[in-house]
Amino acid sequence: MMYQRVTLPNGLRILTSAMTSVRSVSIVFYFGVGARYETAEVSGVSHFIEHMLFKGSAQYPTAQVISETIEGVGGVLDAATDKELTVYSAKVASRHFDLAMNLLADMVRHPRLDPAELEKERHVIIEELGMYRDSPQDWVGVLADEVVWPDLPLGREVAGTRETVSAISLEQMDAYRRQHYTPGNLVISVVGDVTHEQVITDSPMHTAIRHATRTLLTPSPASDCQM
């Protein structure tokens, strides 16, 4: 598959591949951050942030609005956190490319990180951790990592532990997010019925990403954290 790549002055890398035989577009944001980069104190924070970004942003203030924005046009919105990557993706009909790109951009640049939603999601993640222990095929993978990489970040469960997830503060989360969610740590991949020029010059994210310097981000409205 042929592709084009551009690196903006702020370090953001954009890869595109046009597929004229389809009428859809897949957009993926790859941040080079995951469990491997966490201290023991905030183990699970990368995964926690991934959850929180779906709880509302500046332009899309609630989880329902975010979901309906993509699902309302027949699209799919997803995310995942692993040891070294956090990924946000959307797949939509090509005529909704601008909508999907704008949504993903707003989620990663202007998350609300509402304290009430954070507490709700904290309980959700703790329940997830309990489910891993109830699933032998999942739990054996966690145990294997602990044996292979003892006392190292790679040996920890991506979602953290009950203790660390219970203790992560909004300030810790926002500081970690702003440290790692930067242009030089992001690759945007766009594949489908869209041209390279559309992605680079016509997308609603264009102005923001081209003029962003050190960071893609603005401080979260719900946070008093200072950098």
Which of these, 16, 10, 73, lies nearest to 197 by C-alpha position?
16
Q: Measuring CA to CA, how many Å separate 76 from each of 72, 88, 198?
A: 10, 11, 21
Which one of 38, 50, 117, 121 is the catalytic residue?
A: 50
Q: Is 41 a catalytic residue?
A: no
What SS3 class is residue 168?
Answer: coil
Catalytic residue ranges: 50
